Structure 1
């Protein structure tokens, strides 16, 4: 009995964390599809939690919006940091592209809605500049390794990320697959072509 009692707080904390994650996932998805005016009761229903559970963790709608945005930035930062930590710079670079494309396809509508309502959000500007610096260093490493095309500039990556925003207009069920396909095409375009030019004897 004593062991069960000792473990109970951990179980409750784990359950609370699961509820929080479900609420934030549901909020980002609904905000992406319908904008920031989605009622809290709809978010609670989508997350599979009761209104009391929702309001206990997020007492106001703005609290939920802010935490959902912070979590979105954290997910983006995690993708970049894990990619930059890869010992293989080309693998890290391609992992960053695919991860960012998929994340943006899922929740770009939410980010757009949040920034429209908070155009002067300093946290987003700082976040974007920090990730830009990290990805620039990663790209330089991939170039030195001879894997990333020699004429690549960071504006090229910004361009394809901007183009990828259009994926958020697709049906939710197809976004991830399309995002991975688009990422594959972008990665192929960024590859140093000299690495692919292998002379193969032709049959006579």
Structure 2
């Protein structure tokens, strides 16, 4: 077979693997093994590992488009003429993305430093969301002690609802997000919050979750 033929076969296998990974991660979460993904794709596990050397690399590539959409939503929220509406809409939209894709629910609270593209989109989202927070606080609508790391906490809480809500996950999701939005709204009666983890501490936990997904959960089935 010619070199171009080999390249075509390799790209076809790559697309089969990514399609299988998207389907399994969305329905079952990131705990599915590389072997399961290879079986669904119809390729051997060695072929899969030639294309993606680690589970983390496969996760980052599979969810690259979601990471881009996440960052786009943050920038759209920043463009909203109503700072509070922009903040609330962003939180609701990201919760909707979690609800629609179980894998994204987990990946959103992970970090993949080996993927430059994924990390770039995460930084773009973080930068925009910092400004979304500042605008809502300057408008007097968001409590002053809300910090970007609180979004991770909210998404972790929402992930639990998505994972455990079963057929009622959508209704639980809507109610939880409404509660959380109400809780962060600026009011004269708001009690001070306990201190949040620092950005470095939060990032460390995201790294830990990523290592867990890429190793402990990737045992042969």
Q: Judge same fold: TM > 0.5, yes or no.
A: yes
5+ residue gaps, structure 2: 1-18, 53-57, 191-221
Label 1:187 to 1:178 Cα distance change in 2 as closer, same or farther (>3 A). same
CA distance, structure 1, for counterparts of residue 172 and residue 121 of structure 2: 26
Does 2:27 match 1:30?
A: yes
How far did residue 134 of structure 1 move? 0.6
Structure of greater relative contact order (alpha carbons < 8 Å, 6+ residues apart): 2
CA distance, structure 1, for counterparts of residue 186 and residue 145 of structure 2: 9
Partner of 1:46: none
* Aligned residues: CA RMSD: 3.8
- 8 Å CA contact 1:35, 1:113 repeated in 2: no
How far did residue 86 of structure 1 move? 1.0
Does 2:105 match 1:91?
A: no
Report Cα offsets for 1:26-51 as digits up to 9, x if no partner.
454235276254457757xxxxxxx9
Q: Which of 119, 123, 131 lines up with 1:125 in the alignment?
A: 119
Partner of 1:202: none
Partner of 1:176: 170
Q: Which has the larger radius of gyration?
A: 1
CA distance, structure 2, for counterparts of residue 191 and residue 112 of structure 1: 26
Q: Count residues with an aligned counterpart.
A: 162
- 8 Å CA contact 2:109, 2:156 repeated in 1: no
Report Cα offsets for 1:160-201 as digits up to 9, x if no partner.
2222221332255333332222111111011111499xxxxx
TM-score (norm 1): 0.60
- 8 Å CA contact 1:106, 1:176 repeated in 2: no
CA distance, structure 1, for counterparts of residue 140 and residue 104 of structure 2: 37
Partner of 1:186: 180
TM-score (norm 2): 0.56
CA distance, structure 1, for counterparts of residue 109 and residue 152 of structure 2: 18
Q: Which of 154, 161, 166 lines up with 1:167 in the alignment?
A: 161
How far did residue 144 of structure 1 move? 1.2
Label 1:153 to 1:66 Cα distance change in 2 as closer, same or farther (>3 A). closer
CA distance, structure 1, for counterparts of residue 113 and residue 32 of structure 2: 15
How far did residue 147 of structure 1 move? 0.9
